[in-house]
Every structure is written in structure tokens, then in C-alpha cells.
Structure 1
Amino acid sequence: MADPAVSVLKRAVELDEASRFQESLVCYQEGIALLLQVLKVTKDERKKAHYRDKITHYMNRAEDIKEYLKKEKEDGKYHKQIKIEENTKGFSYEKLFQEYLSETVTEVWVEDPYIRHVHQLYNFLRFCEMLVKGRCKVKRIHLLTSHDEGNGRTQQINSLEEIRQSLEDFGVTLDVSYSSSIHDREIRFNNGWTIKIGRGLDYFKKPQGRFCLGYCDFDLRPCHETTVDIFHIKHTKKT
């Protein structure tokens, strides 16, 4: 029964040693909860004492990490990083963004130079659908992207115009701007959260076929390797 707890806590230690403290804290908390369940059903007193010692040790380390992260926030160094490994699943837009889309969000800025090709336009459409369906009250979306340099420019402009008109039906205004010098990818919400994804919204792999799992549900779609960096302006000191 202790095997799942051991596995999770082993992962917590690995993340801790790699200085991935936010992720390690989650694993420590999950592993401690599993170990507490094991402790409840254990009859052998020596094993119970062993589990108590382990729980105390991991709880102390988890508290140390909490204090460290708290100080980072107070010092204006708040930074959460998520590493999406190659071919992993479970990173739909809902899973990635919903934690930061509170009811106070009314305005969103998307800066991504690659909202050009058909699949990238569909990615942006799915992102807009998530905003409309979520608990946030988005009224305006700003998109800054770059023009398609090939024959797809007309399709790009027409597709974004169609998305704009569709959003109007839901009471949302879409402002589209183009820049030939944009390179960075960034998404900002007016509640202070900023999310930077190495590959922008285009981090999903092409599905194997139209009738394969993951074609519609992006939680089941394999991902390209990328890094997600999350900041909050409340915790970022300006120079």
C-alpha cells in the first residue's frame, strides 16, 4: 500500500534537487497525504513509527519550500515554471490556464507571431472558446500576431475576421493587430497573471488521424516539449 506514496515522494525529492520547487511542493503534499492513509491502516507499531518519522521529515521540507516561495514573492521574484515533456498529455488550454482565469478577468492580451496557418488559427479559436466558456467575464481580447508571408495571408485575415464576428455574438470584442517584428510569445490577463509559453499556443502535436483520440479533446493530444513560465505583476518589482 505504501508503494504509490513512495513513488510520489521519490519524484518530489527529484524535483526538489532540480530546484523545481513549485512542482516538488505539490508532489510532497500528495505523497504525504498518501502516506497518512497508509499510517491509518498500519497495525505494526514499528512501521507506524517509521511512517511518522517520514511524514514529519517530508512535512518539514514542504514547509521550508513554502517559506522559500513566499519570500520569493515578497522579494519580487515570483516565478512558477512548468516543463511540458515531449509526447506528454493532459495539457489542454483548460488545464493550463483555468487556475489563473478568475471571475475578475475581463480583458486578455495574446502576443504570438504564429497565428497564421490553419491549425494555428484553430488553436486560437479553441483558446477563445475556453475564455467564453470559463468562469471569467472576458469582454475584450487583443491579438498581436504577424502576417502570413506566403499565399495564406488572405485566409489568415478572413479566418480572424470570422472569429471576430463569432465572438461578437457572445459579447466579446476581438482586436487584431499585426507586427513584422514580433518574436516573443506572451498571454496576459488583466488580473495580473502573465503566461509565457515557449511555443505559444502551438504546442500540440498533429493527431495521427481524424478519428483518433485527441483529435477533439486536447487533454488526450500529445505535446511538443516546451516550457511555461508564469508570473504575476503584483509580485514583480519594476525597475
Structure 2
Amino acid sequence: MSEDVLQGMENSAASVLMRAVELDHNSRFEDSLICYQEGIDLLLKVLKGLKDETKKSYYRQKIEGYMSRAEQIKKHVSQQKEEGKYHKQIRIEDNATGYSYEKLFKPYLNEMVYEVWVQDPYVRLVHQLYNFLRFCEMLIKGPCRMKKINLLTTLEDGNGKGQQLSALDDIKKSLMTYGVTLEIAFSNSIHDREIRFNNGWMVKIGRGLDYFKKTESRFAIGYCDYDLRQCYETTVDIFHAKHTKALSS
């Protein structure tokens, strides 16, 4: 390994580990754990390329320290989940990309998930109904073994009511072909937006499922792939509790 490559790797490791410490101090433990692991991997590669024994000893001590802290964070996060005290917050900036439903929800889905409760007052307009459909598609693809989806939303007024009911009925029939039941309830007094899974995870999004901006045309990048779609500014709060209760209907 050349000196330039080695130096570049050392600089990258230092940068990533500084970020890990910063996230750690701000109690963003899962994000810091990712950075610690990445930084440790880089330092291990640096260690293999070093010839100076003094420098090797220095990096071994550093690696041991970072590994010890990473292990502490793992235990802390695991304990928080067990005690129902876990909380992670994601801030989506205006016009940000890379926040598809898969990106947000997949880390919290596993084979234990078979039921979900969606409370969102805005599953009414055409684009909002498509958002809900995309969310259902994500659940169908796994790894969860979905059996039932519960939706609590508001009923559209006027001419839009028929369109909303027709679309939801189509989604319901389509889900049935995959062995999934869609239970729909309406309430005109709900305001909160939250999604609960039977494995204990709960996700609250300020804008609900409707946090994507409209593309310039149907043939613009991001129209099909939501990871490339620009977002509205919103906050995502993720919690874990021992027992998930169904949303009130």
C-alpha cells in the first residue's frame, strides 16, 4: 500500500470517527454506531499497511477504544428497545432526496411483522391514495409476512368521496390476492399521523405518508423511484415499545 493511499485512508478514518463521536455526544446512537464501525474498518486496513511498530501500537489502542464504545452503544440501544424507551429522530430537509418508504421503514420490518396500523387523515386525494398503495407494496415485498393492514383516515367531501372509496376498494381487492386484509375506518376528528407495527415499532411523520413533492412531469426523474423524489421538510420520530396497541377507531 503506497504512502499516499495510506495517508488518505487515515484521513478518511479520522473524519468518520470524528463524526461518530459527534453523533454519540448528541445521543444519535444508531447513527454513531454506523460511523464507528466504518471508522474501525478503515483503521484496521491502515493497521495492515503500517510498518512502524510505534504507530501500530497507537492505532491498536485507538481501535480497541472505539470497539469498546461501539459495543457499549449496541448494548444501550438494545436495552432501550427492551425497556420501550427507544427514540430516534430523522430530520428531512426541504428538497432532500433518498427518503423512500423503503429507506425509512425497512430497517424496522422483519419476519415477525404481520399487522400494521396506519393513522393518517390525508389518504384522500389521488396522489395520497397512490402513496398509500406504494406503502402497501413495500409491505408485500417483505421481509414481513403481512396479514392485515388497518387504515384510519378521513372521508373526503363532495365529488372526491366516490373516487376515494373506489380507490381504497381497489387496493383492498388487490391486497386480498396476496392474502392481506385491508380494514378501513373513517374519522373526521383525527389529526395525528402515525404508523404502528405489531413487532413494537411506531413511526410518526409530521406530514404522514404525504411528504413527497410533485415532479415537474410524469417523465421526470423521481416520478417512479421515490428515493429520487424531492421531499417536503418534515420530522420523523421512531419509537419502540414492548407492546404495540392498535390505534383507536
Q: In the alignment, which residue of structure 2 is the partner of 1:90? A: 98
CA distance in structure 2 between the partners assigned to 1:14 and 1:51 by the alignment = 20
2:171 to 163, 167, 173: 163
CA distance in structure 2 between the partners assigned to 1:230 and 1:161 by the alignment = 30
Aligned 8 A contact 2:100 2:226 in 1: yes
Summarize the Cα distance change of 1:44–1:212 in structure 2 as closer, same or farther, 3 Å threshold: farther
Write out per-residue CA displacement over residues 184-220 of structure 1, whole angstroms, 9 at most, x where no aligned residue. 1111222222222222111222223322221111122
DSSP-derived class of the 1:164 partner: helix
Aligned 8 A contact 1:108 1:140 in 2: yes
Q: In the alignment, which residue of structure 2 is the partner of 1:115? A: 123
The Cα of 1:151 is off from its aligned counterpart by 4.2
Aligned 8 A contact 2:82 2:241 in 1: no
Q: In the alignment, which residue of structure 2 is the partner of 1:227? A: 235
Q: In the alignment, which residue of structure 2 is the partner of 1:194? A: 202
TM alignment of 1:127-206, pairs within 5 A? 127-149=135-157, 151-206=159-214
Structure 2, unmatched stretches of 5+, are 1-8, 245-249
Moved over 4 A (4+): none
Which amino acid in 2 is paired with 1:69? Answer: V
Structure 1, unmatched stretches of 5+, are none
TM-score, normalised by the number of residues in structure 2: 0.84
Q: In the alignment, which residue of structure 2 is the partner of 1:99? A: 107
Which amino acid in 2 is paired with 1:194? Answer: M
Aligned residues: 236
TM-score, normalised by the number of residues in structure 1: 0.87
Summarize the Cα distance change of 1:174–1:72 in structure 2 as closer, same or farther, 3 Å threshold: closer
Which amino acid in 2 is paired with 1:84? Answer: I
TM alignment of 1:17-36, pairs within 5 A? 17-36=25-44
Summarize the Cα distance change of 1:60–1:130 in structure 2 as closer, same or farther, 3 Å threshold: same
Summarize the Cα distance change of 1:136–1:64 in structure 2 as closer, same or farther, 3 Å threshold: closer
Which amino acid in 1 is paired with 2:90? Answer: I
